[in-house]
Structure 1
Amino acid sequence: MGIVARDRYWLLESGSTAFALGLDDTGVLIQTWYGPRLPRFEDYPAALRGPIFAMEYTMQQTHQDLATGEAGASDERSIDAFSDSGLRGFVLRFEAAAVEGDTLRLTLRDEGHGAIVVLTYRVLEAFGLISRSVSVRNAGSAALHLTRLFSGTFYLPQSYEFTLNHLDGRWGDEFRMQREPFIHGVIQRESRRMTTSHGGVPYFAVERSAPGLGAGEENGALWFGSLDWSGNWKLLAERTRDGRSIVHLGINDHDFVYDLKAGEEFAAPDLFFGYTEGGFGAMSRSWHDFVRERHAPRRNFVPPVVYNSWYATLFDVNVEGQSALADKAAAMGVEMFVIDDGWFKGRFHDRAGLGDWSPDPSKFPQGLKPLADMVHARGMKFGVWIEPEMVNPDSDLYRAHEDWIIHFPGRERTLGRNQSMLNIGRADVQDHLIDIFDRLLSGTAIDFIKWDMNRNISEPGWPSHDRDQREIWVRYVEGLYRIWGELRRRHPNVIWENCSGGGGRVDLGMMAITEQSWASDNTLPPARLDIQEGYTQLFPAATMAAWVTDEHKDAFPLDLRFHVSMAGALGVGGNLLEWTADELETARQHVAAYKGIRPLVVAGDLYRLVSPRSGAFSALMYVAKDKSEAVLFAYRLLPSRPLRNPLIRLAGLDENALYRIVDSGRVLVGAQGSNPSGYPGTSTRSTGGSDGALSGKAWAQIGLRLDLGDLDSTIVRIKRV
């Protein structure tokens, strides 16, 4: 594994992934292989230009690693620009290569522009992934204007038909899993909203389309990747006229120009990619390990049990009300108490106050410290909600700095949720936000920040910018990273939660600067199971904030609501002042149970056993890395006629070790001594042989059946004996 460089050819191997590039005799960099590892270096294809067919040019079918559209190639390009000299496009030729440990750098040059392009590949061997990044430096004398720079272009094996898997959605319905066959032409998925958006994630997973060759949860070939970016993005799945399948992913070129004066450089965000023959489950576990162990700001983070007061109080926030809620939360076993919107100056409704980040004196006459001290005295940590990127017109900040608002001169400034967007691409705005939140965090013992972002961009103008205003799409996100990064540096012990009206900005870029993300404002159990299944395609459960709320509480039992949320980073958001004594006691028991299984949920390997998209029943499990124990979550949601719950075949256990079910009276097992009918209500509650243990292989082959009725759920612990 690693990088092999030989005869102007470079092979990168990481886990089951192989990626190879080489030079033809004119110095064109050609991508020769992306897929499974082959036995020998000599097995990988040579770096050859494509054949000439009829009226097509040779570059048409040449797999340029950075597709330029050179010499008549008419497929999608990876890179494009124009210069003040009048020159357009790129013609790139090899200049140099360097291998340093797990990193390969390939330098290309465009003589006409005087531009230097550097492709950097890194092998992430522990996770079976490879990263790719691209930078462009203007080494010429004329200004260069980038109009497209994708982070990755991938040529899939020829002669196959492919299906694209991606995540779609909208507010309240995020992370919807979608499948689309490649068509002749281009499938385009994108965001133009300044965030990655509720409408999708910059991610692809490609499987073969032929019957029997597609990917399942634990089997089948997948080519997959995701972009390390939190702004506009574009994914193109291209099927060419000659039958080749190509995937492009990077910053969206919609309304995009980036100016490079002489000597300046622009770096596109990293793109991480891989290949597996273990289906979606193996892909997800690779992403999860990568995020938890390498990419996250705090390795192997264990999320606290959070209580958030938003749904209980809305804007009616004061010391007395929050203290009463904190008392209930502490008795329940909550570890982090978070006061949401409404605590700052002038914030009595959503039409005023955003931008003025100091405690409202009528609500908190002595500031937040007395409340923070009270929360800490009850054994919990203390957190607050903020929305730094937004400002209400009715605020001191707006009145003082109207020029800081993103807008088109001469056009009406559209409000969204009664708020405007600050242009955090500006260095002075960044400095202001860093200063004001640094003072907030320094003046009060705040342990947790929920950073929200509740509207999409409109009128994306920057009138005072001394370059092309369309740079705003990139500079805004770079500003976001700078603000968040500097606050993290100054306050390293603060835990940060990413929220954007739910899951509107969940991506690898945010995973690198936050401990957890709010997946959706939709907390209804049926919808939430679908959302959580989509979320965990890429992102680990430790990062997935999941609350128990009062939404349609009469329709869904409290046990069910807890069991759904306990499959992620557990939080509670109901109005505890209205919960009965029995409900509070039930909640206390669930919080205690969650703490017992939390190490498995946040650090174990996820196996999705029965998809919630398949019907009334769904199940998943987390298995310890050493396979010593596991926890099974099972749900039966849809009211229906009496039905036989399906067999659940456990996965991820050591085939040769023995495992026993513990702490559950809901299990019906198809082994010696078990109930032969498998129908609820007739169980002998047997769990295997005479000692109740079965081998890991038996659990996978024979499985178990659960005694669940409608709107019912359970958590089953499994331990090696």
Structure 2
Amino acid sequence: MSSLPITYLEHSQLFELRTSKTSYLFGIRPNGSVQHVYWGEQVEASECGYRLKNRGHSSFDAEVNREIEEFGGWGGCNYAEPGLKATFQDGVRDLKLAFANFEIPSDDELVVHLADDHYSLRVEVHYRVIAEHDLIERYVTVVNEEEHPVRIEQVMAAIWSVQGQRDYRLTHVTGRWAGEYQLRETMLSEGKKVLESRRGFTGPHANPWFAIDNGKADEASGKVWFGALGWSGNWKIVAEKTTFGHVRIVGGINDFDGSFVLQPGTAYTSPVFVGGYTSGGFGEMSRLLHGYQHDHVIPTDKLRKVLYNSWEATEFEVTVQGQLELARRAAKLGVERFVVDDGWFGARHSDRAGLGDWQVNAEKFPNGLQELIDEVKELGMEFGIWVEPESVNPDSDLFRRHPEWVYQFPTREGTQLRNQLLLNLGLPEVKAFVLDFMTELLSSYDISFIKWDMNRTVTEPGVHPRYQQAGESVWIKHVQHVYEIWAELRRRFPHVEFETCAGGGARIDLGMLRYADQAWISDNTDARDRLSIQEGFTYAYSPAVMMCWVTESPHGFNGRSLPMSYRFHSSMMGGLGIGANIRHWSPEEMAEAKRYVELYKEIRATVLQGSLYRLESLRYSNTAAYQYLSQDRKESVVFTFLQSQHFGAEERHLQLQGLDAGVKYEVTIDEQELLVLHGSNLMHVGLPLQLRGDYGSKLIRLKAIQ
């Protein structure tokens, strides 16, 4: 049994990718196709070569093995969702990809080369083993060495195969604006379940993450196969159960309206699709993904600053005096970053005008923006600001100068969403405009934080005839330029932190998180609604990037009234922000909020850098509980929530996880009740859940006694 991350067993034509706890096997069949063999607990790979034998059923299913191809094209007897579909210059639409060779560029990287048996079209299937997190990164590069262009109709980043289960359950998230990341479970029957976005960005209605189990896994146990695609535009994940008991998960850039021409001598590289396996249930799945994001995806390990955002207090009524008043109040709470939202620029008095004119409004800031920035810094806070660079109001100087810069079809009037059109960021001059004005803004002012928003989907994705470039995909180009702009801004301004926002959580994925320090996951800031949104979010993404705000009660979305303790506890489970109109808070409310901010700063490292255990969920019970455990397991924080009081309800005991059984822990509940208990008792006997009243909540802290 090899201990190397990548091993090729020549006698059996097998590759093994080995992580800390798993084996991933595939091999080369005699006909040259590359077939998946096994994915799960570590095994002896040398004994698995027999699984490469040919399997047929009838003339209707002549090559059952193609259902579990590691990567293959549409052609011949392949009727499953293909990895690649192409049309050659002569009209041939059939691909016959076969193994050519392989290389191992480094200890943890493998590249398998496939080639068509007639045309000079090659596919490089890339693997990178993330051993410590039991994950494998995959992507493909398609190389056109023909003398003529090749039209790519569909190209997926990876195909994952799950076999050997009697039943297959798909877990994913769905939602809409203000209700993102709602968890769903679907038992798969024969056929396809498609998760996708056709809206130009990741989208609030689905997210490119999946989990497969046999229907019996839970938070703490059970076999789970899972993956997440890193792409911030149109994407597609297809979970296809065949009649022969296989499930294949195919994912990549959405082929809908997405074909493009690959010119001779050029190559296309897909986004990364990472996948993993665990026998530790959905909780361990999430912790593996979170650790991977900390170590390999998120651009910084800085702790999130406590921020105040002025939007809900002022909306578009931004003035220097109003912002200064809010900043002074925010500083008294212990806020570390003050953020001015929409309304500071151009003729921006509503959402009907000014978007695209990124000059400071002289009426609102007669002495410029620096007056506000200087006082914010004197108050001990950093300064941040909101932008929406990809959109434009028709009522703006930018649109009047460059109406040809928006997406448009010549015979159609562009759809206005939120009274705005979308700039064609794929155009080099539009990309340059965005990069130039952002560079000028960040060079002119001492800004430490950018909230980058996008408040509309893509519509009428046409290009003005003057800018038509045959063969390019406008969908792909837009996202590539977003990435390039963010990468360049990070290079030019390494001290600035960036937040991804798209009307809330509509552009969050492993592609965007390579450039964003934090994410605004929903415009819904109701603390009860946020529990469901945040729980679904953490199945795939780390709390380290999850921003959560304390806002008004009653809440403007649903009229629900919640105590300040509940609102803060809900918002302390990620990066803490405050968005309420704090000018209206009483001295008592200000004092209570200040205490919570101070408490958050004490536990922040554990919350943002520790391991998350979802102990109880409101999906299944009347209570919710979430535990964060520090990396050294010496400190832990538990947030507990009660939906509503029920007469005669049984006393519940909360069994914690991840502690050292033989270690004693000092336990405090809401900074008052003090207990000393062994880790073994805390994990197996548990703590009594002493929650009373509707929307009760408590914060429990544990510290190991040396």
TM-score range, shorter chain: over 0.9
Contact persistence 2:138–2:273 (CA under 8 A): yes
Q: Report what 1:122 is aligned to.
A: 128
The 5-angstrom pairing of residues 38-437 of structure 1 reads 38=43, 40-46=44-50, 48=52, 50-56=54-60, 58-62=62-66, 63-99=68-104, 100-158=106-164, 160-209=166-215, 214-298=216-300, 300-437=301-438
Q: Provide structure 1 residue ranges, at least 5 long, that are not aligned to the other structure.
A: 667-684
Q: 1:207: Cα distance to partner?
A: 0.3
In 1, the alpha carbon distance for the partners of 2:138 and 2:661 equals 37
Q: Is the 8 A contact 2:6 2:15 kept in 1?
A: yes
Taking the aligned partners of 1:467 and 1:35, their CA distance within structure 2 comes to 46
Deviation of 1:9 after TM superposition, in Å, equals 2.2
Deviates more, 1:697-706 or 1:580-589: 697-706
Q: CA deviation at 1:47?
A: 5.8
Mapped to 2, the partners of 1:636 and 1:442 lie a distance apart of: 48
Distance 1:551 1:235, change over 3 A: farther
In 2, Cα distance between equivalents of 1:46 and 1:329: 67
What's the Cα RMSD here? 1.6
The counterpart of 2:690, out of the listed 707, 710, 715, is 707
Number of the residue aligned with 1:33: 38
Give the match for residue 570 of structure 2: 564
Q: Which amino acid aligns with 1:5?
A: Y
2:6 equivalent to 1:3: yes
Which whole-Å CA distance do the structure 1 matches of 2:450 and 2:363 have between them? 23
**Cα distance, 1:199 vs structure 2:** 0.6
Output the CA distance in 2 between the equivalents of 1:711 and 1:474. 45
TM-score (norm 1): 0.94
SS in 1 for 2:63: helix
Within a 5 Å distance, the mapping from 1:401-550 to structure 2 comes to 401-464=402-465, 465-468=467-470, 471-550=473-552
Tell me: CA distance 1:109–1:231, structure 2 relative to 1, closer, same or farther (3 Å): same
SS in 2 for 1:593: helix
* SS class of match (2:516): coil
2:585: which partner in 1? 579
Report if the CA contact (8 A) 2:261-2:472 is conserved. Answer: no
**Amino acid of the structure 2 residue aligned with 1:251:** I
Contact 1:333–1:591, Cα closer than 8 Å, also in 2: yes
Distance of 1:43 and 1:573 partners within structure 2 = 59
Asked whether the equivalents of residues 438 and 487 of structure 1 are also in contact (C-alpha less than 8 Å), the reply is yes
Residue type matched to 2:172 in 1? H
Determine the structure 2 residue equivalent to 1:676. Answer: none
Q: 1:456 to 1:645 in 2, by over 3 A?
A: farther
8 A Cα contact 1:258 1:470, kept in partner? yes
* 5+ long unaligned stretches in structure 2: none
| Count of aligned positions | 692
The answer to whether the 8 Å contact 1:57/1:73 transfers is no
Partner Cα separation in structure 2 for residue 528 and residue 57 of structure 1: 48
Structure-2 separation of matches of 1:125 and 1:244: 26
Is the CA contact (8 Å cut-off) linking 1:60 and 1:75 kept in structure 2? no
The amino acid across from 1:367 in the alignment is G
The residue that corresponds to 2:601 in the other structure is 595
CA distance in 2, matches of 1:496, 1:665: 34
**How far has the Cα of 1:307 moved from its partner?**
0.1
CA distance in 1, matches of 2:475, 2:242: 30
SS in structure 1 opposite 2:413? coil
CA change 1:393–1:664 in 2 (3 A) is closer
Q: Deviations over 1:95-123 (max 9, x none)?
A: 22111211001111114331111011001
Matched, 1:658 2:664: yes
Match of 1:719 in 2: 703
Per-residue deviation, residues 418-473 of structure 1 (Å, max 9, x unmatched): 00000111121111110111000000000000000101111111244544567011
| Secondary structure of the corresponding residue to residue 487 of structure 2 | helix
Q: Which amino acid aligns with 1:713?
A: S
Distance across 2 between alignment mates of 1:642 and 1:291: 44
Structure 1: distance between partners of 2:459 and 2:16: 45
- Equivalent-residue separation in structure 2 for 1:44 and 1:694 (angstroms): 48
- Corresponding residue of 1:678: none
| C-alpha distance in structure 2 between counterparts of 1:489 and 1:394, whole Å | 33
Q: Is the 8 A contact 2:633 2:659 kept in 1?
A: yes
Task: Tell me the SS of whatever aligns to 1:542.
Answer: helix
Give the whole-Å Cα distance in 2 for the aligned partners of 1:411 and 1:154: 41
Bigger shift: residues 455-464 or 66-75: 66-75
Whether 1:622 and 2:628 are equivalent positions in the alignment is yes
Q: Deviations over 1:231-279 (max 9, x none)?
A: 1111111111223221111111111112111001111101111000000
Equivalent residues of 2:435, 2:489 under 8 A apart = yes
SS state at 1:72 partner: coil
Instruction: Measure the CA separation in 1 of the matches of 2:621 and 2:652.
Output: 11
User: 1:435 is aligned with what amino acid?
Assistant: D
Letter in 1 for 2:234: N
Residue type at the aligned position of 2:429: D
Native 8 Å contact 1:87 1:113 kept in 2: no
Amino acid in structure 2 at the alignment position of 1:397: L
1:476 Cα deviation after fit:
0.8
After TM superposition, give the deviation of residue 57 of structure 1 in Å: 5.0
Cα offset for 1:559? 1.1
Q: Deviations over 1:309-350 (max 9, x none)?
A: 000000000110000000000010000000000000100000
Q: In 2, distance between residues paired with 1:307 and 1:102?
A: 43
TM-score w.r.t. length of structure 2: 0.96
Residue type of the alignment partner of 1:703: G
Whole-Å Cα distance in 1 between the matches of residues 622 and 148 of structure 2? 63
Could you report, residue by residue, the CA deviation over 1:626-653 in whole angstroms, capped at 9, with x for unpaired residues? 1111011111133544634521001110
Tell me by how many angstroms 1:693 deviates.
2.6
Q: Is the 8 A contact 1:623 1:652 kept in 2?
A: yes
Larger mean Cα displacement after TM superposition, 455-464 or 468-477: 468-477
Change (3 A) 1:470 1:254: farther
Displacement of 1:475 after TM fit? 0.9
Q: Is the contact made by 2:163 and 2:245 (CA closer than 8 Å) also made in structure 1?
A: no
The residue type equivalent to 1:426 in the other structure is L
Q: Cα distance 1:450–1:653, how it changes in 2: closer, same or farther (>3 A)?
A: same
Q: How far off its partner does 1:49 sit?
A: 5.0
Q: Matched residues in 2 for 1:56 and 1:655: separation?
A: 58
Q: What is the identity, as a one-letter code, of the residue corresponding to 1:519? A: I
The alpha-carbon distance between structure 1 residues 636 and 261, as it changes in their structure 2 partners (threshold 3 A), is same
Q: 1:532 to 1:45 in 2, by over 3 A?
A: farther
Structure 1 counterpart of 2:241, which letter? Answer: R
